[in-house]
Structure 1
Amino acid sequence: MLSILTRGLTFAAIIFCSSSYAGNLIQNSDAHAHIDLDGPWHYIVDPYENGFYNHRYQEHTRDGYFKNAQVKHPSDLIEYDFASAATLNVPGDWNTQQDELFFYEGTVWYQRDFSLDKSRNERYILHFGAANYEAVVYVNGEKVGTHIGGFTPFEFDVTGAVKDGDNFVIVKVDNRREREQVPTVNTDWWNYGGLTRSVKLLTLPKQYISDYTIHLADDDNRTITGWIELGTGDKNAKVTLEIPALDIKHTLKFSDEPRQSFSIKAKPNLWSTAEPTLYEVNIRYNDRTISDRIGFRQIAVKDEDILLNGEPIFLKGISIHEESALHPGRAWSKEDARQLLTMAKDLGVNFVRLAHYPHNEHMVRMADEMGLLVWSEIPVYWTVLFERDDVYANAENQLTEMISRDKNRASVILWSMANETPKSEARLGFITKLANKARELDDTRLITAALDTSSETDKGKHIDDPLSEVVDVIGINNYCGWYGKKPAECAGIKWHSDYNKPVIMSEFGGGALAGYHADAEQRWSEEYQADVYRHNLTMIDNMSFLRGMTPWILKDFRSPRRPLTNIQDFWNRKGLVSDKGVKKQAWYILNEYYQQH
């Protein structure tokens, strides 16, 4: 079994996800039989990591908190006790559940008991929706794996670690920011720590369906294509793919390879923003059936146009952070997703940018249902260390996990490689490699990145970032009227591009404290924010190559970068809706614009 990294070691020593389970993430984990491990978990705050390191700063092998030791004799010295410790709800962040943990960055240990009947001789996979940022996982005192990255799923085969009857799982979660991480130390969102998404124990047969992709062929809207993969070898396997509404019942016969491809003629109603048709898909293998709901559509670019099902589309969008509109803290539930995306649809959008990291799976599945197109992003944000191989490997792993989870979602049309990264040869090479990897993993979607490196010329703003050559769709962030110029100066700005490609204005806007009214020249007033939107929309109307926009941002969100007392109070106030759900004046301006376009 591989061991956890020690901070500061070189790339060769770093393990992003280690376990005895070798393979991709199990697709559609909720559709597999499983034991739900959500709910209250006991926790211990450990800022000095005493439960992990001894007094020589060496990793414990016998006496760490992961052993869940119990006092058996009055003279026993054990200085922790999960059984008597307080609890945190999982999924959930620790920052908003306990006041004393609001600003906390460091290690928290989570513990949960569960029971198991092993008489069925099954395979057991411990699946985490996400843990921010570094997780070390133990089952019954045995380390089963380590994962790095705060927004993507991971899992470990724990078949050899669990036993019949009573079991326990312990997770060391550390959300400390470090320079070599992805994202790096400086971000403009709250560093919510903990087991922020669901945890489950998958109970699988010895032979099972591990992964699949099912989509419309790029060059033929009357052909459904893809592949199905088995988790273990079975030379005589027969797997049946059924789409009842399309009268499809197709049998795949496996031999030596665990993955089999297929191509089936069909006439599906194409998924679109106006009619988000989803089909029930059943994959049957032995006595198990995996069910999904999948839409069939095509996405492409032609010169400066984005084509959905062969027709040009303008992406009327909004950016969203994964912060709940229903309760304090990180959004994680189906209800959270429905509320956020309903707020977006009420604005008049057909497109959302899920910034600046992969959001929970409920968001993309709900977008499928609601007919919202999605930009999905990994947190290669601002100034990550582009020169380092270990940083690249971390970013590629997060990209791989994002694509692995969401490759069957019709709503997702753009994989974003980065946001607001500074020009350099190292950065260009880093993000180019990511884009190539994304195309290798999934060639059915478009590649983008949000840039903020356009130059000023005597003719106006010039899109000249060499990364524009790499992406299919160019994203540009521009805060005219907020971080430069007066709002009225924005309307007349002319934009120029060296590339015959579609452009999305991926960010623009300004901040306002809901309910604060003043002259339009008064910073932080609703009137000032509304003026920023009014003049930026005039500028946007003059951008001939623009094919979409996702203003910043749907609702106010927490950020440690924003301490201004009585205005920000650690909230980024660029939301069109306040943290209390109050619509600001700019919301109505953008809503009217979308209704007219």
Structure 2
Amino acid sequence: MTELQRRSEYPRPQFVRGQWMNLNGEWDFEFDDGNVGEREGWNEGSRPFSKKIQVPFCYQSELSGIADTSFHDVVWYRRTLAVPAEYKGKRLHLHFGAVDYEATVWVNGKRVAAHEGGHTPFHADITDVLTDGENVIVVRAVDYSKDVTLPRGKQFWEEKSAGIFYTRTTGIWQSVWLEPVAETHVRRVRLTPDIDRNELKLQAFFGGLPAGAEVSMRATITFQGMPVTEDTFKVTNETESRTIGIHDFNDHGLGRWWSPEKPNLYDLQLTLLVDGQETDNVSSYFGMRKISIEDGVVLLNNRPYYMKLVLDQGYFPAGLLTAPSDEDLRRDVELTKEMGFNGARKHQKIEDPRYLYWADRLGLLVWGEMANAYHFSETYVGRVTREWLQAVERDYNHPCIVAWVPINESWGVTNILVDQQQQQHALAMYHMTKSLDMTRPVISNDGWELVKTDLVTIHDYEWRREVLTERYSEVDKALSARPGNRWILVPGFPYEGQPLLMTEFGGISFKKSDWEGWGYSGAANEEDYTKRLEDVIVPMLKSPVIQGFCYTQLTDVEQEINGLLTYDRQPKIPLETIRRIVEGR
């Protein structure tokens, strides 16, 4: 395995400390199909496991070294750890980027963490259970392969992929790392830019505040290495808020606002002091960016902005949900921009933070979407709500994220048209998301059967240019069309003048590799494919009512061959041809 495939980059780019230890790489591994591991004491760490796995790749993937796609819902991991001498005197936090679906962690036989949710991070302070010399970390992961009330995204509940569903991910699939922190430290920050007031609202959350000591934090903001401002304030509570003026350029072409065209980022250095002595130092960044809706128009930084998104499933042939390398994530952002798109809708996946980092750095709008379940139950409601809360908290600071999508195409709420309980759930997800984040629009049920929503978003795989041109010539025609034989808005939730966006369309299949598969319509050759792209994209660009679109999709995925790129990221027609069509040239 190469160093790139080992995923050696810092896993949490929005909140960086200088000291950390990468725990990716080879771990001992075992299937527990009889679910006997806990009863037999596997968590104590002395039992040898029969397999090796390359973390953070799931056992179903080629890069894991196992590549077994059959059902194994209970799996175990084990590795040893020697703590570096320079970490002595610090609190040691063991971090997991994501483990699908439930995880329990033991260190030296003592349970240190339990977490539910397959797409969100967790950590444990393991300081007090460590010993000198070799320590043993054991992880038990439990998936529920056939449970369709589980938030699972595109992971199929049958053994072989089919239709729009793909190979499952079980266990660790994002990076694992160890981080030393001081007793008194910054736990996290919440950064809210306000371009209208030229201010940054900083909320900081602290751990281990000492009694009787004087604690303060210094926030230093720079732009491209040049000082912008510095603010020092006292810390007396576990949460402190501060509004910092950004006395800097703004509009009139000289601005430092963030956009896909000018992805300007400010660097933020946070230094925590106890009685004048530095105890913690964290690097972060932010973008001065505003997404809003005024008089039924989508605005970016107070100017009308047409979103040209591509649907991105975030799957890779050798790693499935896990990119083989950080460079692969960066390249997906670059390819998206090279084709003329200014954004991506990450579909049914809470994406790796490294992807969001590159979207921030390179300039790409991102719609953050929950990985949905498929059937409704009260158990599902609890699961999806808890995990969505964690997802919004994790990704709140990224300037690239400009919309939240808690539910897609009535997945998990299949009877929302007529079932008031399911309508109330969609409303609850909408309002809960708004209660966490008032700065971004929220789509209650992307595609159709919307309840209360900030954007009216439509999925329509019609391929005839003349039909699309007529259908989206007026708002009333668009709302009454019912593509897929679905209501756009649930009866009782009237249209309130929200912007209309076409957030799934196209899906043209074109076989350009060894993969066999399907699409929503098919092209015979490159010339036909080019014409079919024009036939679906041109009506969106010329529509007087559509304010943005999301083309399906970036890449082929397993049995789907409706990508602009093959599964291994090779363009099906020249990138410049796609760019010309997307830009309307």
- Give the TM-score normalised by structure 1: 0.79
In the TM superposition, 1:445-484 aligns within 5 A as: 445-453=440-448, 465-467=449-451, 470-481=452-463
> CA RMSD, aligned part only?
3.0
Whether 1:102 and 2:97 are equivalent positions in the alignment is no
Partner of 1:21: none
How many pairs align? 517
What is the DSSP-based 3-state SS (H/G/I as helix, E as strand, rest coil) of the residue aligned with 2:423?
Answer: helix
Contact 2:53/2:66 (CA < 8 Å) preserved in 1?
Answer: no
The AA in structure 2 aligned to 1:151 is H
Whether 1:153 and 2:121 are equivalent positions in the alignment is yes
In 2 relative to 1, CA 377–522 (structure 1 residues): closer, same or farther, beyond 3 Å? closer
Aligned counterparts of 2:465 and 2:73: Cα–Cα separation in 1: 41
**Cα shift at 1:151:** 1.6
Aligned with 1:198 (options 175, 182, 195): 175
In 2 relative to 1, CA 180–190 (structure 1 residues): closer, same or farther, beyond 3 Å? same
Partner of 2:401: 412
| CA-to-aligned-CA distance 1:115-169 (integer Å, 9 cap, x gap) | 1258833222211111122222111112222222222111122233222321111
Contact 2:218/2:272 (CA < 8 Å) preserved in 1?
Answer: yes
In the TM superposition, 1:72-83 aligns within 5 A as: 80-82=47-49
Partner of 1:513: 511
Contact 1:304/1:545 (CA < 8 Å) preserved in 2?
Answer: no
Contact 2:174/2:322 (CA < 8 Å) preserved in 1?
Answer: no
What is the DSSP-based 3-state SS (H/G/I as helix, E as strand, rest coil) of the residue aligned with 1:192?
Answer: coil
Partner of 1:535: 535
In 2 relative to 1, CA 440–32 (structure 1 residues): closer, same or farther, beyond 3 Å? farther
Aligned counterparts of 1:506 and 1:134: Cα–Cα separation in 2: 32
Aligned with 1:443 (options 428, 438, 443): 438
Partner of 1:43: 29
Whether 1:92 and 2:57 are equivalent positions in the alignment is yes
Partner of 1:170: 138
What is the DSSP-based 3-state SS (H/G/I as helix, E as strand, rest coil) of the residue aligned with 2:100?
Answer: coil
Whether 1:226 and 2:202 are equivalent positions in the alignment is yes
In 2 relative to 1, CA 225–292 (structure 1 residues): closer, same or farther, beyond 3 Å? same
| CA-to-aligned-CA distance 1:529-582 (integer Å, 9 cap, x gap) | 655533322442454332211111100113xxxxxxxxxxxx211211112333
**Cα shift at 1:452:** 3.5
Contact 1:332/1:360 (CA < 8 Å) preserved in 2?
Answer: no
Identity %: 21
Aligned counterparts of 1:504 and 1:522: Cα–Cα separation in 2: 21
The AA in structure 2 aligned to 1:172 is R
Contact 2:79/2:138 (CA < 8 Å) preserved in 1?
Answer: yes
What is the DSSP-based 3-state SS (H/G/I as helix, E as strand, rest coil) of the residue aligned with 1:446?
Answer: coil
In the TM superposition, 1:191-590 aligns within 5 A as: 191-217=168-194, 219-220=196-197, 222-234=198-210, 236-244=214-222, 245-267=226-248, 269-286=256-273, 287=278, 288-324=280-316, 330-331=322-323, 333-381=325-373, 383-385=374-376, 387-388=377-378, 390-421=379-410, 422=414, 423=416, 424-453=419-448, 465-467=449-451, 470-481=452-463, 489-494=467-472, 495-497=477-479, 498-510=495-507, 511-514=509-512, 523=522, 525-526=524-525, 532-541=532-541, 543-558=543-558, 571-585=559-573, 590=578
Partner of 1:3: none
Contact 2:257/2:264 (CA < 8 Å) preserved in 1?
Answer: yes
Contact 2:429/2:444 (CA < 8 Å) preserved in 1?
Answer: no
Aligned counterparts of 1:491 and 1:476: Cα–Cα separation in 2: 15
In 2 relative to 1, CA 325–109 (structure 1 residues): closer, same or farther, beyond 3 Å? closer
Partner of 1:130: 98
Aligned counterparts of 1:128 and 1:408: Cα–Cα separation in 2: 19
Aligned counterparts of 1:247 and 1:100: Cα–Cα separation in 2: 50
Stretches of structure 1 that go unaligned for 5 or more consecutive residues are 1-24, 53-59, 70-79, 454-464, 559-570
Partner of 1:181: 150
**Cα shift at 1:594:** 1.9
Aligned counterparts of 2:573 and 2:88: Cα–Cα separation in 1: 60
Contact 1:326/1:336 (CA < 8 Å) preserved in 2?
Answer: no
Whether 1:142 and 2:110 are equivalent positions in the alignment is yes
| CA-to-aligned-CA distance 1:183-205 (integer Å, 9 cap, x gap) | 37657233122311110122111
In 2 relative to 1, CA 278–451 (structure 1 residues): closer, same or farther, beyond 3 Å? closer
Whether 1:113 and 2:75 are equivalent positions in the alignment is no
Aligned counterparts of 2:180 and 2:102: Cα–Cα separation in 1: 25
Contact 1:234/1:255 (CA < 8 Å) preserved in 2?
Answer: no
Aligned counterparts of 1:332 and 1:213: Cα–Cα separation in 2: 30
In 2 relative to 1, CA 509–219 (structure 1 residues): closer, same or farther, beyond 3 Å? same
Aligned counterparts of 1:237 and 1:332: Cα–Cα separation in 2: 42
**Cα shift at 1:338:** 0.7
**Cα shift at 1:589:** 6.0
Contact 1:557/1:572 (CA < 8 Å) preserved in 2?
Answer: yes
- Give the TM-score normalised by structure 2: 0.81
What is the DSSP-based 3-state SS (H/G/I as helix, E as strand, rest coil) of the residue aligned with 1:250?
Answer: strand
In 2 relative to 1, CA 159–574 (structure 1 residues): closer, same or farther, beyond 3 Å? same
In the TM superposition, 1:28-39 aligns within 5 A as: 28=14, 30-31=16-17, 33-39=19-25
In 2 relative to 1, CA 522–317 (structure 1 residues): closer, same or farther, beyond 3 Å? closer
Aligned counterparts of 2:130 and 2:14: Cα–Cα separation in 1: 23
Contact 1:533/1:589 (CA < 8 Å) preserved in 2?
Answer: no
The AA in structure 1 aligned to 2:199 is T
Contact 1:480/1:490 (CA < 8 Å) preserved in 2?
Answer: yes
**Cα shift at 1:86:** 3.1
The AA in structure 2 aligned to 1:584 is K
**Cα shift at 1:180:** 2.6
Aligned counterparts of 2:367 and 2:531: Cα–Cα separation in 1: 27
**Cα shift at 1:218:** 6.0
Stretches of structure 2 that go unaligned for 5 or more consecutive residues are 1-10, 158-163, 250-255, 480-494
Contact 2:97/2:174 (CA < 8 Å) preserved in 1?
Answer: yes
The AA in structure 2 aligned to 1:161 is V
